Amino acid sequence: MNFSLTEEQQMLADSVRRWVRDGHDGEARRRDKTRRPLDAALWRQFAELGWLALPFAEDDGGLGGGPVETLVLMEELGRGLVVAPYVPTVVLGGGLLRRAGPAWRERHLPALIEGRLQLALALDEYERVFAPENTALTATAEQGGYRLDGRKALVLNGDQADALLVLARTGGVPGDEHGLSLFWLTPDQDGVSLAPHRTVDGHTAAKLTLERVHLPAEALVGEPGGALAPLRATLDEALLALGAEAVGALSVLLDDTVEYAKTRRQFGVPIGDFQALQHRMADMFMALEQLRSLLLAATLKVAEGHADARRAVHALKARLGLDGRHLAQEAIQLHGGMGMTDELAVGHYFKRLTAINGLFGGADAHLAAFADA
């Protein structure tokens, strides 16, 4: 058992950290409240730095990295609170393409890796608790293909994506694990409407409405009715990536809080002298270390294909929702009134963590899934 990074992984961590520090004006981006289009220069840099190639096989033009490399990248991006569609495009979209067979990989991965293809996965639906098998949006077989009707909520990066992967039901009823299929569609197709919106954390998404969208049979990604298995494997990777981002963000919240407690003076002393606050910061420290342990456990188990890997992913997401949320709430409380302002970074980290906790099932759902696994 070994928990150290290889030399290459360490170099990756250093390079991301350097870029976050020197090459990325996170604060300026935070202050910009308009739903600006994706900073194309930023995405180009991601491509040039090789980050878009990270999780793809060398045969597909990638760097052959795995979950550990993604962890290294995402933790640093989390530390820097970098707003970029890495998870929607590379982890989710790329993850599904990786699992969709050679034709899909050949057709789309080169563009994705070069930064010319943005993706989005349309998964959540309005008034349906998150679970892939809970999907209701229908894809009805018709002459030469399928007709899609329905709505998808909170399509992450749906406002920027060049193509969308839509989870639809080609058979069965909501709740069934079979009958789920994935479709590739582009926003310009007839019957597709996207209503872009901001999300609470400064990212962007869209509401997707499909009305009599006719797709050719070739738009089906993977096996008809067999989308659940590749989707779940991809979601595991997304949960790990978000977990790493969250751990990076939480480490900043702890550091900022401790720093603030050392400098903010009340009653003639730094507030960090008060035992009531010291113990709460000690608890924040322990929560962070426990989450880091779960992140490593889940990431390594997925990377090595352990039988209990998914159980560890559930544990990570559940504890993030319980302990990570509490840590972030404590960070605001210990910053006092300043923690409530848009000016300080604390609140922005808090909102990103809140968003991560809400994505792809919350703490209760993952705790229940952990118990059933």
Partner 1 sequence: MDLTIPDHEQSFREEVRDFLARAMTPEIREAGRLTTSVFAPVKQAMDWQRILHEQGWAAPHWPREYGGTGWSVGQRTVFAEELVRAGAPPLIPMGLQMCGPCLIGYGTEEQKAHYLPRILSGEDIWCQGYSEPGAGSDLASLKTFAESDGDHYVINGTKIWTTYAHHANRMFLLVRTRRDGKPQAGITFLLLDMATPGITVEPIVGLDEVPEQCQVFFDNVRVPKANRVGEENDGWTVAKYLLTFERGGQDYAPGLGVQLEQLKARARRQATATGSLADDPLWRRQVADCETRVLALSFTEQRIKSALSAGKDPGALSSMTKILGTELQQRVTELAVDTLGAQALLWQPGALVPGGGEAPLGPEYALTTMASYLNARACSIYGGSNEVQRGIIAKAVLGL
Contact residues toward partner 1 (CB under 8 A) are 1-6, 9, 68, 258, 261-262, 272-273, 275, 278-279, 281-283, 285-286, 289-291, 293-294, 296-297, 299-301, 304, 306, 312, 315, 318-319, 322, 364, 367-368, 370-371
Q: Are 129 and 185 in contact (CB under 8 A)?
A: no
Q: How far apart are CA 21 and CA 55, in angstroms?
A: 24
Closest approach, Cβ 370 to partner 1, in A, equals 5
Minimum CB distance to partner 1 smaller for 301 or for 348: 301
CA distance 327 to 309: 25
- Ramachandran assignment for 230, one of left (phi > 0), alpha (psi -120 to 50 degrees), beta (any other): alpha
CB of 241 to partner 1, least distance (A): 16
CA distances from 278 to 250, 275, 285, 324, 353 (A): 17, 5, 10, 18, 23
- What's the rounded Cα separation, in Å, for the pair 241 and 234? 11
**Which residue number, 109 or 239, has a Cβ lying nearer to partner 1?**
239
Could you tell me the smallest distance in angstroms from the CB atom of residue 322 to partner 1? 8
Euclidean distance between CA atoms 321 and 315, whole angstroms: 10
In the complex, least distance from residue 333 CB atom to partner 1, rounded to whole angstroms:
16
The nearer residue to partner 1, 2 or 143, going by C-beta atoms, is 2
Tokens found for residue 246? 């969250």
Rounded distance, CA 237 to CA 244, Å?
Answer: 11
Beta carbon of residue 296, minimum distance to partner 1 (angstroms, whole number): 6
Q: In the complex with partner 1, which residue's Cβ is closer, 118 or 299?
A: 299
Q: How far is the CB of 85 from partner 1 (least distance, A)?
A: 27
Choose between 54 and 294: whose C-beta lies nearer to partner 1: 294
Of 253, 170, 181, 171, the closest CA to residue 223 belongs to 181
* In the complex, minimum distance from the CB of residue 55 to partner 1, in angstroms, rounded to a whole number: 16
Residue 10: CB minimum distance to partner 1, A: 11
Helix 309-319 × helix 275-304 angle, to 10°? 160
Q: Residue 103: is it exposed, middle or buried by C-beta count within 10 angstroms (0-12/13-18/19+)?
A: exposed
CB of 244 to partner 1, least distance (A): 13
| Distance in angstroms (rounded) separating the CA atoms of residues 328 and 334 | 10
CB of 319 to partner 1, least distance (A): 5
Closest CA to 92 of 194, 185, 231, 243: 231
CA distances from 21 to 79, 114, 151, 181, 347 (A): 10, 24, 40, 42, 20
- 228 vs 309, which CB is nearer to partner 1? 309
3-state secondary structure of 101: coil
Residue 107 contacts by C-beta under 8 Å, 6 or more apart in sequence?
none
Burial class (CB in 10 A: 0-12, 13-18, 19+), 299: buried
> Is the CB of 52 or the CB of 291 nearer to partner 1?
291
